[in-house]
Structure 1
Amino acid sequence: MTTEKTQSLEYLRQEAERRVPSLNGELTVKGLEGSVRVVWDRHGVPHAKVESTHDMWFVQGFLHAQDRLWGMERTRRFFHGTLAQIIGEGGLRPDRLYRRVGLMRAAQREWPHVEKEGRLVVEAYVAGINAYLDMELPLPIEFEVLGYSPARWEPTDVTGRWKLIAYSQSMNGQTKLGRLQLLKALGPKFFAKLFPYYPTDGPTIVPPGEPAGERPMAELLDLYEAAHAQAGISEQNGSNNWVVDGSLSATGYPLLAGDPHLAITVPSFWNVQHIQGPQFSFTGASMPGVPGVTYYGHNGHTAWSVTTAGADAQDLFLEQISDREPPQYLFQGQWLSAEVHEEKIWVKGQAEPVVEQVIETHHGPVVSGGPGRRGPAVALCWSGNEIQQTFSSFVPMHASKTVDELIEAHRQWTSHTNRVLADTAGNIGYILSGQLPVRKGGPAHVPVPGWTGEHEWESQVPFEGMPRVVNPHSHFINTSNNLIVPYNFPHYVAPAGNPTRAERVVQMLKGQTRFAIDDFARMQADNFNIPGAYMAKRVRSVEPESELGRQARDILAGWDGYHQPENAAGAVYETLRWKLFDATLGRLRAWMPEHKPSAESLRSYMTAVLGMIQSDDRELLSHEALPFDDWNVPLAEALDAAAEHLDQVLGSDPAKWTWGGLHYVNFRHGIGREEPEASLLNAGRFASGGSGETVNNTGHGGGPSFGANTVATYRQIIDLADVNNSVFIIPPGQSGHVASPHYADHLEDYLAVRYRPLLWDWARIEAEAESEQKLTPG
């Protein structure tokens, strides 16, 4: 680092220390209805005792702004489409996508229609954020680095934040584009080998018992990839959760676990808070920018944990749009008037804004193509573009006392999640939340013509018809982004997911008769790789050409399937998987015409390829791009290539080919790519075990870099026998202030899969208190 940057780093460190808010003493806060006591425990968690329901949401907003203002601001710029205004050209493509999708247009349309109970929650929360901003205390160091101050919050910022959450959990539009390109390039016969692919005996959450223009497609895929990279949205995003009832727990009461798998963010995506009100209380992982602990937590009576459902709640309609002014679009033989929105995107360093003209049909906004462009335009139809009442669910959810009440509280919920539930009476349950469309022509797995009227959304699945289960005969429920319902379910819900993590969780849940918190912790740390264990046996009959390839085969053949960082076999397996992709789907991709699907999107089909190898299904090998007649041939080729890569990267001694030598988790701040910010803000890079196929999910995009792009960003285990026994961990730490002792103090425990107590009882809170603040009305 240069002397100039060293001096700059020292200045930033001093500034960062100055900007950490004091958490002791008394503050006068305008807008509070009563006095509030806030105690911070030694784990960095605030515990607030308030006198009114209004102040519960108000204090949440205040505490979020106090501790996580930068993260809230960065996320706000995503859904507003104003990232380029602070970071320059690098934010332009994400801004273009989110302006076209119209998250803020949808949020502004919705807010006037939000019902009273929901409005009170949002308004109180926003008032708390603004009360903190109005105090004009020093801002987090990121604002100093970027040279600006944040604007006050509006209620539509909260509804916009929720639209981004809902969008990220129903983003199958991108997947449908990739499918269309595959279908066009490969034809129906070979396409059907890759999609849909799900083992008929793979676990389901609810038990059984009953033509397009190329350029718009390529442009849209490019925008999707850029936007999702900036926002930390990955096709591998998912989660685990499971619950057992009292017959399977050591205490005789339910035990519930959850760990969301998202991109690594610094500061953390989550912020643990405990709010005690006069009528109900709650604790768990909140999302700064949104009130409540809606995804992970408990209220002393009920507990909940979610995974992404991958529900099919987006369609892409191909539209024929005229060159007339104003634009019109064709629908069932008539030209209809389209709405037109002018979006001005300001880019840092540029004198004039980039102007986007967004056309909107009755299906939704045109996100690619349009007048003067070759081929049909592409319009996005998604449930979040409609008026919704999610915020009316917040009080009933957080105040629920039984699983049945908690299920009912999700009647108006809009984000598509698998919600696993439990209560202190001993009940366990599951509900798929969100609104699912009923389509006139059935599910649309690829973009469909919008001008025919054959694929319209006619209605939505009634709440009573949504998948659910209460107190199943198995005595447990697990969701790990696997198939939600059997294929004979009356409504189409979601495409098949990868069953691997669910198979392993079910395997462990069936493997013993009584579970305690330590058992669930062991499960969350589990690195056993089911496909890897199969491949270890499968390669024994494969004959690579090179001596190094044969050594790699022998290492893999002796593997027990546990994906530990010190393991050589894990490194061989993951590199083999990457090179097997090159030998099969990589060849297909190279054979395709222009505007190929991205390698990242094709990697999701490796589950299908591995399934074909396991069943010895050779039909895909008959494609003209694949010069094989037996799976042993591409496996041998991939082993040779994998060994060559490991030799180049980790050295010629196979004993040093450790998985941790390739695979790592990198806790890098969003603006920590260059010095001096990197030394100040980044929390560290660490060798890692696990993979995208293990319960301890550390998914990666394949080689040559095997860095994790998806990890468990929070872990919780809730004991319904006594919620005081519940535990959590949040990487890298609770605070968003780099100079705070709680910025990265959870990392060591997180990497070792250890936990901190999720304190509930005030006697224990006071015993572990670190600081205390009193907030009084101004």
Structure 2
Amino acid sequence: MRVFRWVLYGLAGVVLLAVLAGCGGYLYLRADTAPETDGELALEGLERPVEVEREPSGVVHVRAQSENDAYFALGVAHAQDRLWQMEFQRRVGAGRLSEVLGEATVEEDRFLRTVGFYRAAGSAYRTLPPESRAAVDAYVEGVNAYLETEPGLPVEFRLLGFEPEPWRAEDVLVWAKIMSLDLSANYEAELTRYRLLARGVGRERIETLLPPYPEDGPTVLREEDLRENSETPEAERSEAAARDLAPGRGEERLAEALLANRKSLPRSLEASNNWVVGGELTRSGEPLLADDPHLGLGVPSLWYLAHLQSPEQDAVGATLPGLPAVVIGRNDRIAWGVTNVGADVQDLYALEETPDGEGYVVDGEERRYATRTETIEVDGGESVEIEVRESDYGPVVSDVVDLGGDEETAPPLALRWTTLDEEDPTIEAFRRIGLARDWREFNEALESYVAPSQNFVYADVEGNIGYVAPGRFPLRAEGHTGLYPARGDGSQDWEGYVPAAEWPRVLNPERGYIVSANNRATPEGYPHDLALEWAEPYRAERIEERILAKSGDLTRRDTVAIQQDQTSLLFRDFRPVLERLGADRMPDGNAREWRERLLRWDGDADEGSEEAALFAAWYAELSRLAAEETGEPFWDEPRYLLRALREGDPNCEPATEEGCLAFAAEAFAAGLDRFEGDPPEWGEEHRATFTHPVLGETPLSRLTDREVAFGGDDSTVNVGPYDFRSFAMESGPSYRHIVDLGEPEESLFVHPMGQSGNPLSPRFDDLLEPWRTGEYLAMRTEGYEVESNLVLRPGD
């Protein structure tokens, strides 16, 4: 997830800098910040003693005598290593950043309060099944029991001058809601289309600028998988036409303002890989499962590596600080991995407001807004009071921006989103996955899953492999595609959700493998539109290509090589364009020489490749083609660009293939000029950046922030997306694991940075270099080296 970046101003920073300048600066920061990880600690709320062992890498092993004691101890371990991260996350979810960060975050808090993440978290908790509510309670008790020991607080608390409040159940569940925002892209996509319509771009032209998923592109499920899943009904498609909205200048300004607001919040990244290969294709005869979710890179890492052992479970993998579950990993019977489905579970509804502005019209009847008042406390400033309007479609999110003036107005936009439903037992699903023993129990666990919808791949010790995409997928009214804001007048409402029996699912497909890389989940013939927008199929194509190249002889080492692959299929697509340009279009001998070098390049976007740097610069320049039409400086849509370069496009001068090739030649020269004619190694420009959410834009960033050379691009399996202006890489593989069902204890995992959030801890960034160079830790539940052992005992 892209971490928020807000500038921290104030006396505290000045004081700390002065302290750091003196000889006692290190000791000031170091004192009382390292948690006690050896010995014994008595804590109220614990039922029986628990051992919390740490490996030299910081990987935590919790050995408890009951499931809830394990969650209690996980809460302690998370708080010991990541207390500031947990504090920041819950303040994000509650819209309470301004209480400690001041006026700089008021607008973010306004959005977060308006959408109502914390209210939704409270509703979700109240409706949880008793076992999962108890798990949440145990975790919260663990965090609070640790806080009651009055531990040394992380540096961030000292800087900002406050202490953490006791934890509540809502603090646990709200971060899952924020993660759902990060992984739900349709809100932004609808606003983009809405803005283009308002600029006068027709719908047919928008389909050219934002082309649909290629008809021949790979899908996660195949047509034969639908036949294997007898519960999937035949497709019934409606051809009803949508009642088009006709936005104008007011809507354009509103969409622009909401998109700008969105950019200060977690951003969706349509990138993650997972795959599973059955024993018939592996050398060992047992399944191999791989996963690497691609999210924002920040300080500290989003993930925390942990092993939870109790009589009920023995699960190891990636946990999220603030949540009581192994989210991705394996237990002693099964393994699982996730990628984002990219399901369309958000809709913006344009409301027909009543003349007095106090309500809106649905099915010809007036309905009044429900309202609530939210007060945002602001450190160093006056509190801000906002009135939030709620409709039957959800909160009126257009109220978060003030367009000002008396120009043309736009209808209010309300947000309908599954994450805001009253009941959301997703945490129940993750808790039960860790307990599952087989395919049946795995699927039963996922019946509780709501959002964000994920592609789950599965393998077990019996040799089975499988796939299921769970979630609450809306069934829309006829003519409502979900691509554009809809009419909030009752004509385009949701009509329920896809039944769980009809979720995409397959067990042991005949081809022997399943690949998911945010590509289209379902083939032609599947009866429901889970989404109409999917990530480009490059990564899925490359993974499948490499699996088939080793078919029958695939090993764990091969799986590592696939996960680390940086071959750019984007370059493969654009190489023919470079051929058609011809040397005669190049402005000078240096450009002609670099053109020849790029044509000889194999597409391996290694950090040491100069060709990778030039291709990245050329592609960035190509993406300027639609800037005037779209109002965006870069338009990163490779299939639109390829079509323009093959067939011509109105944005070229002239609007012919010849005109577009002339543009491509100019873009090549501009890309080369960016490096003054001498492209550097890609890793010199392309840096994976890890920024602290508060200190990252202050002088203290030298203490917390990191950057390392990295390869790849947006199309590579080992993904390396980058900002077209700076080449900075702010998101990427946030975690990697490879589970070998033949030798489970030789399975592998890693995440960037380290297990500790304390910048003065040796565990703060010790995993960064292994992550960068493709090394892993052993994912073990036994036989590991123990560096420290803390015994938690029930208090008086």
TM-score, normalising length from structure 2? 0.90
- Which residue does 1:632 correspond to in 2? 661
Alpha-carbon distance change, 366 to 214 in structure 1, aligned in 2, over 3 angstroms: farther
- Which residue does 1:358 correspond to in 2? 388
**2:65 aligned with 1:35, yes or no?**
no
Give the whole-Å Cα distance in 2 for the aligned partners of 1:288 and 1:12.
29
Partner residue of 1:16 out of 22, 29, 35: 29
Give the whole-Å Cα distance in 1 for the aligned partners of 2:21 and 2:691.
17
| Partners of 2:543 and 2:562 within 8 A in 1 | yes
Partner residue of 1:678 out of 701, 704, 710: 701
- Which residue does 1:307 correspond to in 2? 339
- Which residue does 1:188 correspond to in 2? 203
| Partners of 1:237 and 1:263 within 8 A in 2 | no
Give the whole-Å Cα distance in 2 for the aligned partners of 1:13 and 1:407.
51
Give the whole-Å Cα distance in 2 for the aligned partners of 1:625 and 1:115.
63
Give the whole-Å Cα distance in 2 for the aligned partners of 1:166 and 1:633.
43
| Partners of 1:363 and 1:381 within 8 A in 2 | yes
- Which residue does 1:526 correspond to in 2? 565
| Partners of 2:326 and 2:431 within 8 A in 1 | no
| Partners of 1:364 and 1:381 within 8 A in 2 | yes
- Which residue does 2:518 correspond to in 1? 481
**2:297 aligned with 1:264, yes or no?**
yes
1:3 Cα offset (Å) = 12
Structure 1, residues 510-553: CA drift from partner, whole Å, max 9, x if none?
11122222111111111100121332343122143521443442
**2:556 aligned with 1:517, yes or no?**
yes
1:471 Cα offset (Å) = 0.7
- Which residue does 2:498 correspond to in 1? 461
Give the whole-Å Cα distance in 2 for the aligned partners of 1:377 and 1:3.
46
1:12 Cα offset (Å) = 5.1
Partner residue of 1:736 out of 751, 757, 769: 757
- Which residue does 2:7 correspond to in 1? none
Partner residue of 1:375 out of 410, 416, 438: 410
Partner residue of 2:71 out of 57, 66, 72: 57
Task: Kindly provide the amino acid, as one letter, of the partner of residue 777 in structure 1.
Answer: P
- Which residue does 1:593 correspond to in 2? none
> What does 1:193-212 correspond to in 2, within 5 Å?
193-209=208-224, 211-212=246-247
Task: Kindly provide the amino acid, as one letter, of the partner of residue 557 in structure 2.
Answer: D
- Which residue does 1:692 correspond to in 2? 714
Partner residue of 1:249 out of 276, 282, 285: 282
Alpha-carbon distance change, 52 to 151 in structure 1, aligned in 2, over 3 angstroms: same
Alpha-carbon distance change, 466 to 674 in structure 1, aligned in 2, over 3 angstroms: closer
Give the whole-Å Cα distance in 2 for the aligned partners of 1:141 and 1:164.
25
Give the whole-Å Cα distance in 2 for the aligned partners of 1:364 and 1:284.
36
> What does 1:653-672 correspond to in 2, within 5 Å?
654=678, 656-672=679-695
Task: Kindly provide the amino acid, as one letter, of the partner of residue 313 in structure 1.
Answer: V
Give the whole-Å Cα distance in 2 for the aligned partners of 1:221 and 1:404.
47
- Which residue does 1:777 correspond to in 2? 794
SS in 2 for 1:170: coil
| Partners of 2:339 and 2:454 within 8 A in 1 | yes
- Which residue does 2:317 correspond to in 1? 284
Give the whole-Å Cα distance in 1 for the aligned partners of 2:483 and 2:304.
37
Structure 1 stretch 713-722 or stretch 550-559: which is displaced more? 550-559
Structure 1, residues 474-516: CA drift from partner, whole Å, max 9, x if none?
1111111111112432001122321011111111111112222
Give the whole-Å Cα distance in 2 for the aligned partners of 1:433 and 1:320.
34
Give the whole-Å Cα distance in 1 for the aligned partners of 2:788 and 2:118.
38
SS in 2 for 1:497: coil
Structure 1 stretch 625-634 or stretch 474-483: which is displaced more? 625-634
Give the whole-Å Cα distance in 2 for the aligned partners of 1:34 and 1:511.
52
1:213 Cα offset (Å) = 5.5
**2:182 aligned with 1:168, yes or no?**
yes
| Partners of 1:696 and 1:712 within 8 A in 2 | yes
SS in 1 for 2:549: coil
**2:187 aligned with 1:151, yes or no?**
no
**2:622 aligned with 1:580, yes or no?**
yes
Task: Kindly provide the amino acid, as one letter, of the partner of residue 639 in structure 1.
Answer: F
- Which residue does 1:592 correspond to in 2? none
Give the whole-Å Cα distance in 2 for the aligned partners of 1:711 and 1:769.
31
1:6 Cα offset (Å) = 6.4
Alpha-carbon distance change, 685 to 396 in structure 1, aligned in 2, over 3 angstroms: closer
- Which residue does 1:70 correspond to in 2? 84
SS in 2 for 1:241: strand
- Which residue does 2:673 correspond to in 1? 644
| Partners of 1:587 and 1:625 within 8 A in 2 | no
Give the whole-Å Cα distance in 2 for the aligned partners of 1:700 and 1:144.
34
Alpha-carbon distance change, 218 to 13 in structure 1, aligned in 2, over 3 angstroms: farther
Partner residue of 1:240 out of 268, 273, 292: 273
- Which residue does 1:135 correspond to in 2? 149
Give the whole-Å Cα distance in 1 for the aligned partners of 2:492 and 2:770.
51
- Which residue does 1:337 correspond to in 2? 368
- Which residue does 1:82 correspond to in 2? 96
Task: Kindly provide the amino acid, as one letter, of the partner of residue 620 in structure 2.
Answer: W
- Considering only aligned residues, what root-mean-square deviation do their CA atoms show, in Å? 2.3
Structure 1 stretch 572-581 or stretch 105-114: which is displaced more? 105-114
1:629 Cα offset (Å) = 4.0
SS in 1 for 2:674: helix
SS in 1 for 2:65: coil
> What does 1:396-411 correspond to in 2, within 5 Å?
396-411=432-447
Structure 1, residues 365-399: CA drift from partner, whole Å, max 9, x if none?
00004999812001000011112222332442111
Give the whole-Å Cα distance in 2 for the aligned partners of 1:59 and 1:147.
28
Give the whole-Å Cα distance in 2 for the aligned partners of 1:487 and 1:626.
38
Partner residue of 1:5 out of 7, 17, 40: 17
SS in 2 for 1:368: helix
> What does 1:550-629 correspond to in 2, within 5 Å?
550-582=592-624, 584-589=625-630, 596=631, 598-599=632-633, 602-603=635-636, 605-610=637-642, 613=645, 616-618=646-648, 621-622=649-650, 627-629=655-657
Structure 1, residues 416-455: CA drift from partner, whole Å, max 9, x if none?
1111111111111111121101011254344434343121
Alpha-carbon distance change, 107 to 9 in structure 1, aligned in 2, over 3 angstroms: farther
**2:723 aligned with 1:701, yes or no?**
yes
Alpha-carbon distance change, 292 to 217 in structure 1, aligned in 2, over 3 angstroms: farther
Give the whole-Å Cα distance in 2 for the aligned partners of 1:96 and 1:505.
42
SS in 2 for 1:37: strand
SS in 1 for 2:123: helix
| Partners of 1:258 and 1:306 within 8 A in 2 | yes
| Partners of 2:393 and 2:488 within 8 A in 1 | no
Give the whole-Å Cα distance in 1 for the aligned partners of 2:644 and 2:508.
36
Give the whole-Å Cα distance in 2 for the aligned partners of 1:677 and 1:458.
52
Alpha-carbon distance change, 628 to 363 in structure 1, aligned in 2, over 3 angstroms: same
| Partners of 1:205 and 1:478 within 8 A in 2 | yes
SS in 2 for 1:135: coil
SS in 2 for 1:356: strand
Give the whole-Å Cα distance in 1 for the aligned partners of 2:566 and 2:308.
35
| Partners of 1:93 and 1:223 within 8 A in 2 | no
SS in 2 for 1:297: strand
Give the whole-Å Cα distance in 1 for the aligned partners of 2:424 and 2:285.
39
| Partners of 1:6 and 1:676 within 8 A in 2 | no
Structure 1 unaligned regions, length at least 5: 590-595
Give the whole-Å Cα distance in 1 for the aligned partners of 2:259 and 2:337.
28
Alpha-carbon distance change, 477 to 554 in structure 1, aligned in 2, over 3 angstroms: same
| Partners of 1:107 and 1:163 within 8 A in 2 | yes
Structure 1 stretch 512-521 or stretch 264-273: which is displaced more? 512-521
TM-score, normalising length from structure 1? 0.92
Give the whole-Å Cα distance in 2 for the aligned partners of 1:434 and 1:12.
50
- Which residue does 2:233 correspond to in 1? none
Give the whole-Å Cα distance in 1 for the aligned partners of 2:567 and 2:550.
17
| Partners of 2:571 and 2:603 within 8 A in 1 | yes
